Chains A and B, each alone.
Chain A
Amino acid sequence: MNWYDFVLRNRGEVIARTAEHIGLVATSMAIALIIGLPLGVALVRRRAVQRWVFGVANVVQTIPSLALFGFLIPVPLIGGVGASTAIVALALYALLPILRNTCTGIEEVDAAVIESARGMGMTPQQVLWQVELPLAAPVLLAGIRLATAISIGITTIAAAIGAGGLGVFIFRGVAMVNNQVILAGAIPAALLAVLADLGLGAVQRRVAAK
């Protein structure tokens, strides 16, 4: 039996798992953005604090994902077996690229542009929303793009703690020593990653062209 025969025969579950997968990625990315964007803006030109925050985020990034999922299970409130634990871990992984690119994206904006924006009487809010963020947008989007790609990959491992998603097929296939089942999870996940990357890449180019 080919992997796509398996997919066809089980298309109901494949579609449901793909939807779960997208849901996990989207929710964790949304959380990472809600935390990462304002935090990244707040860290702009604060070198000392940056070192600490980036240091911690870097360490989180180095924890193997399976281990991080495991560590989070006993944590009260966010822990337990299931999607919520996975979302927290995924958001943690997505945080660093978003944080760092928001920060450096804004710091790389031409100092003369910011000086004249302030000198012409823009409020700090106006400088941020009308000048700094639009000009940092391509770098910022590159961070989001990277975070999304990482997130789609790591989400396959979230199945190990009962979060669902396409990883379910992969773990099932490994247990059954059945490559067709593994591929039924791996190929849709890879396709998702490619599609997300192409989509966000197109957005990034459009923003950069402005």
Chain B
Amino acid sequence: MTYRLPSGAALVSGLTLSVAQGETLVLLGRSGSGKTTTLKLINRLLEPSEGEIFISGRTAAEWDPIQLRRGIGYVIQETGLFPHWSVEKNVALVPQLDRWPDDRIRARVKEMLELVGLPPAEFASRRPSELSGGQRQRVGVARALAADPPILLMDEPFGALDPVTRSELQREFRALASRLGKSIVFVTHDVREALFLGTRIALLAAGRLVGEYAPEEFLHSAETEARAFAASYHLWRDDQEAR
């Protein structure tokens, strides 16, 4: 698929990717490489200029965008939690929109908060402003998973967290992902995060797909852009060993 701005500049061009169930596809690339644009093309926050996206056997264009999005969990870096709603109400968003019965929603919210490690008794009635950054991201993940969508889109969800919280959440998320068996598309510019979370890595540069790699082959790729990312990884590891 291809996405162009009204000015004609292509943000994503000729991209072909697929994600299977239970897989975490990491979109890795520098800022402006088209990662976020690709994500927004999947849940139709943007419409492709050319090409098609197939979701559960239907093209995205055939789906009603509202129904499509309710079936796709969406987590962004700034979390986008509603500041005027409690944690409970935030997590209940999609079940509420889909008109689940109240008792089922309450049970589900409890389950989700426990899943992401936030005891409901303590956190359900808090406002997002009363949470730490890491806790907010946990709520963001709980909200995205609440209606049990088969697909999860994550746009640098851990990017704004401090390193300790980040690796904590990364570890938990990896365990969660392998347990839940969703199709996950995860955007990051952090090669370590990509290697740690991805079952497959798609490297993007200037809106094009450079290549797709298994995590173990990524570091050995001969491709220039891949080597640039690999080099940043080795630099970090050498630093670690030098200490």
Contact B74 A116 (CB under 8 A): yes
Residues from chain B with a CB closer than 8 A to the CB of A119 are 40, 43, 45, 69, 72, 74, 76, 80, 153
A62: CB under 8 A from chain B?
Answer: no
Cβ-closest chain B residue relative to A124:
B66
Range class of the B interface residue count? 20 to 34
Contacting residue for A118 out of B69, B71, B77, B83, CB 8 A: B69
Least distance between A110 CB and chain B CB atoms (Å): 7
A114 to B94, CA, bound (A): 15
Contact B78 A112 (CB under 8 A): yes
Cβ-closest chain A residue relative to B73:
A120
Least distance between B1 CB and chain A CB atoms (Å): 18
Residues from chain B with a CB closer than 8 A to the CB of A73 are none
B18: CB under 8 A from chain A?
Answer: no
Contact B80 A113 (CB under 8 A): yes
B67: CB under 8 A from chain A?
Answer: yes
Contact B70 A118 (CB under 8 A): no
Least distance between A134 CB and chain B CB atoms (Å): 5
Known: A112-B76, A115-B45, A115-B76. A120 touches B93 (CB 8 A): yes
Contacting residue for A121 out of B69, B78, B82, B153, CB 8 A: B69
Least distance between B154 CB and chain A CB atoms (Å): 11
Residues from chain B with a CB closer than 8 A to the CB of A121 are 66-72, 94, 97
Interface centre among A112, A115, A116, A118 (most CB of B within 10 A): A116
B137: CB under 8 A from chain A?
Answer: no
Residues from chain A with a CB closer than 8 A to the CB of B78 are 110, 112
Least distance between A111 CB and chain B CB atoms (Å): 8
A210: CB under 8 A from chain B?
Answer: yes
Least distance between B89 CB and chain A CB atoms (Å): 10
A112 to B140, CA, bound (A): 12
Least distance between A120 CB and chain B CB atoms (Å): 6
Residues from chain B with a CB closer than 8 A to the CB of A114 are 80
A116 to B72, CA, bound (A): 12
Contacting residue for B97 out of A113, A116, A122, A131, CB 8 A: A122
Known: A115-B45, A116-B76, A119-B76. A210 touches B84 (CB 8 A): yes
Known: A119-B45, A123-B66. A113 touches B74 (CB 8 A): no
Contact B70 A116 (CB under 8 A): no
Residues from chain A with a CB closer than 8 A to the CB of B83 are 110, 113, 135
A112 to B72, CA, bound (A): 17
Least distance between B104 CB and chain A CB atoms (Å): 18
Cβ-closest chain B residue relative to A131:
B82
Cβ-closest chain B residue relative to A119:
B74
A117: CB under 8 A from chain B?
Answer: yes
A126: CB under 8 A from chain B?
Answer: yes
Cβ-closest chain B residue relative to A112:
B78
Contact A135 B45 (CB under 8 A): no
A59 to B69, CA, bound (A): 44
Residues from chain B with a CB closer than 8 A to the CB of A116 are 74, 76, 79-81
Interface centre among B74, B79, B81, B153 (most CB of A within 10 A): B74
A135 to B74, CA, bound (A): 21
Least distance between A98 CB and chain B CB atoms (Å): 21
B143: CB under 8 A from chain A?
Answer: yes
Contact B76 A120 (CB under 8 A): no
Q: In A83-118, which residues have CB < 8 Å from any B CB?
A: 110, 112-118
Q: Which residues of A contact B (CB under 8 A)?
A: 110, 112-123, 126, 131, 134-135, 210
Q: Which residues of B contact A (CB under 8 A)?
A: 40, 43, 45, 66-72, 74, 76-84, 93-94, 97, 143-144, 153
In the complex, the 4 A-B pairs of residues with the closest C-beta atoms, listed nearest first: A116-B80, A121-B70, A121-B69, A112-B78
